[in-house]
Amino acid sequence: MQTVSSLIDFNRKMEGQELVALFMHNPEDESSRCAFRSISEANYLSRTTKVYLADMSQVPDLHTFYQITSTPSLLFFVNGKLVNVLNGCHESDYLKALMSNSIQL
């Protein structure tokens, strides 16, 4: 997972990619650490969706722009458009299925 430093940075990195996910987290929060482990495993297994990482305390313009008020949150984008937001920690198999099936949410 690559880290993003701002909304502009994320938009640049997302350009030209069909399937993208953005993991917004708080590294001090246990639920965020749980979600990070699941997302890392799912991303490794699926390899179909590019996943970016944003620490909510470091990138306030992202959570403001996407109106994210809780962590962890996994945002899914198709062709640059936000299509779904998952909050909390989910099993890696569930996330792998989402990532492997072109994010049919």
Predicted confidence (pLDDT) per residue in 54-101, tens digit: 998 899 899 889 998 888 999 999 999 999 899 998 888 888 887 776
Which helix (H) or strand (E) is 92 found in, with range?
helix 92-100
Q: Indicate yes or no: pTM above 0.75.
A: yes
> What is the Cα–Cα distance from 26 to 12, expressed in whole angstroms?
23
